[in-house]
Structure 1
Amino acid sequence: MTKFDEATQAIRVDDTTYDVCLDPGYSVGGMLNGGYLMAVILRAVVDASPHAHPVSTTAQFHRSPTPGPARVQVETLKSGRTAAFSRATLIQNDTPYIETLITTATLPETSAAAYTSTPMALMPPLSECVRLPDPKPESGMTLNAQMEMHFDPPTVGWLQGTPTGVPEARAYFRLSEPQDPDPYILALAVDALPPVVFSAGTRGWAPTVDLTWHLRALPAPGWLTVLGSGRLITDGWFDEEVEVWDSQGKLVAQSRQLARVGRG
């Protein structure tokens, strides 16, 4: 079992209840990453489902859980031959923290698209991309150690005080520990980029309020390409859209989230 598999495992207690242990290694400024938390919930939901893959997930983040024991409560709403629908809640100390609606289905190992668009932006070669500096130990940024990301240089200009002025972020992504990407890693990937508002000139913690993502295909081994953009920043809110493409140039995940503009 890899570190990520262990950090996201859900242990069945009964037909509707799963014990989980939230890993402190997936924190951003002391707060657990939303993609990591979705992966934990999805482990439980898929185990309880007759289908193998989480094809659609909508999560509402009511509050931020802390590392340590928690549980996932799963309710099956409808189960059919091609899809099943579930409601799942992440609970800690008898308090609901994240509410989700999840559709599961079983996708083929390989498939040919009847139609596909092109990526929202083109990435330079991996050799021309840059890694972010390692965070200071006191920053609470433990997530960085769990993954390797190489960024399109203009989209991290905010680090040197030269943001592009456009909400955007683009990077190649994989886990630090060698592991082929799967749907749970994609749940992490869609929320792994720095908030796109950083590139628009805003810094600070930008908490996700609502995030929906779709698993479009099972990813091939190798690097993932994660492309993020925003459409509107207003009244303390911003949106973020993410596409994830696999090493074979296939669109494997899409997401949209609504978040608060960063503070700090």
Structure 2
Amino acid sequence: MAPKSTDWVCVPFSDAIKLDKLDSHTYRVKLDKNYCIGAVPNGGYVGSCMLAAASAYLSEINQPDALTAHFEYPARTSSGPAVITIEDVKLGRSLLSTLHITLWQGDLKSQKPWITPSVSRRAALAYATFTNLRTFSGMSMPTGYEASPAAALPEPLPDFEALKTSAGDAAWEIAKLPASSGLLNSLRNWHFYLPRGDPQTPGTLDMWIRATSGERITQAALPYIVDSFPFNMHAYLAAPELRELFLAPPSRKRTSKSASDDKKEDRDEEGQEEARASLWFPTVVMNLEVKMALPEEGVEWLAVRVTSKQIKDGRFDLEVQVRDAEGEIIALSHHVALILSMERNTAKRTSSDKSSL
């Protein structure tokens, strides 16, 4: 049975990734419960915290921007304090630097070494390459992809003002969390706007996003963006015949039926929502490549396209593309994820719990 809903407070992303510098290579962050899926902070949010620490560290040599990052999540994270440690792999004074980043939780200390060796758990790991995207230069040329239909933004473009004031326009509508959505606090930090009717490309989810807090989206949020999806994402990725099963609420498929038939259809819809809310989609591996820097002041809107090639045996892949309102590619991402019961997410931890699964 899906967990019941919990209190959620709209915490600005900039506050949720605030760091305290402990020493030259160590930072402390408090993982915010309002960025959790169940009892576990969203993996992309955790990644954003890790890259924020790396960015602060490399700002001293003017390389504040992540170019690539590879994340692994060997243990379940939890809301509350965490320590982020940074190991220099290669410091390139002129162009690129590579770091090994570890996020630790459990038995943390108030002084060096900040963690308890052999007791504190490595909850998330990353290798990241940093640079300065605003000064990076070199040869550029168009590719065949840029002229292909796949490179075009989904049509029609939204009426952004209508999306903000009326939760939709003729082609796009805001994704609403059902009452049975439970402890999916992280989803509440974004407004996801999905196409009305069938997707233009089967198995592809196109959406526009903006922050619920109203703050503009900055570079620091990219790991969180590529790991944030609407409640019913699975229905858009499914084969067309399955999508009809997942996304056919009475309001869209109304025919001449008796009241009892309508009630049955309503119960079926609720059952689909309950079934979805009982599932957890933990990220095992996430790769991020940043193509260009967002403006320093951030942007209000981003277009996100999500595809999956196979969902099988409780495992699935995701490819994520992030673009701005002009269609410029901002970031690409690839995930390996699992489909598990939410009970695995919310199970009580023990002192020896080192596994996310």
Say whether residues 1:114 and 2:141 are aligned partners. Answer: yes
Identify, as 1 or 2, the structure richer in strand.
1
> Which of the numbers 13, 21, 29 marks the counterpart of 1:12?
21
CA radius of gyration, larger in: 2
Question: Equivalences for 1:49-68 in 2 at 5 Å?
Answer: 49=58, 50=61, 51-68=63-80
Contact 1:214–1:254 (CA under 8 A) maintained in structure 2: yes
Between the aligned partners of 1:165 and 1:122, the Cα distance in structure 2 is 10
Q: Measured at CA, do residues 82 and 181 of structure 1 come closer, stay the same or move farther in structure 2, by a change above 3 Å?
A: same
> Which of the numbers 82, 85, 103 marks the counterpart of 2:129?
103
> Which of the numbers 202, 206, 215 marks the counterpart of 1:179?
215
Contact 1:167–1:196 (CA under 8 A) maintained in structure 2: no
Give how far 1:197 is off.
3.8
Give how far 1:198 is off.
3.9
In structure 2, the residue corresponding to 1:13 is in which secondary structure?
strand
Instruction: Return the TM-score normalized by structure 1.
Output: 0.86
Give the aligned partner of residue 238 of structure 1: 316
Between the aligned partners of 1:154 and 1:95, the Cα distance in structure 2 is 45
Gapped runs of 5+ residues in structure 1? 157-163
Between the aligned partners of 1:179 and 1:218, the Cα distance in structure 2 is 17
Contact 2:152–2:327 (CA under 8 A) maintained in structure 1: no
1:232-251 deviations in whole A, cap 9, x for unaligned?
A: 22332111000000122210
Question: 2:102 is matched by which residue type in structure 1?
Answer: T
Question: 2:314 is matched by which residue type in structure 1?
Answer: G
Q: Which has the higher contact order (CA 8 A, sep 6+)?
A: 2
Single out whichever of 9-18 and 196-205 deviates more from structure 2: 196-205
1:61-90 deviations in whole A, cap 9, x for unaligned?
A: 112211111111111100111010000011
> Which of the numbers 186, 190, 204 marks the counterpart of 1:147?
190
Gapped runs of 5+ residues in structure 2? 1-10, 107-119, 159-168, 247-275, 343-357
Name segments (4+ residues, structure 1) moved above 6 Å: 109-112
Give the aligned partner of residue 217 of structure 1: 292
Single out whichever of 214-223 and 96-105 deviates more from structure 2: 214-223
Q: Measured at CA, do residues 83 and 61 of structure 1 come closer, stay the same or move farther in structure 2, by a change above 3 Å?
A: same
Give how far 1:252 is off.
0.4
Single out whichever of 66-75 and 144-153 deviates more from structure 2: 144-153
> Which of the numbers 79, 99, 112 marks the counterpart of 1:86?
99
> Which of the numbers 21, 44, 52 marks the counterpart of 2:53?
44
Give the aligned partner of residue 160 of structure 1: none
Identify, as 1 or 2, the structure richer in helix.
2
Give how far 1:110 is off.
10
Instruction: Return the TM-score normalized by structure 2.
Output: 0.65
Contact 1:131–1:151 (CA under 8 A) maintained in structure 2: yes
Give how far 1:22 is off.
0.3
Give how far 1:171 is off.
1.0
Single out whichever of 169-178 and 106-115 deviates more from structure 2: 106-115
Between the aligned partners of 1:206 and 1:86, the Cα distance in structure 2 is 28
> Which of the numbers 157, 160, 176 marks the counterpart of 1:125?
157
Aligned CA RMSD, in angstroms, stands at 2.7
Give the aligned partner of residue 161 of structure 1: none
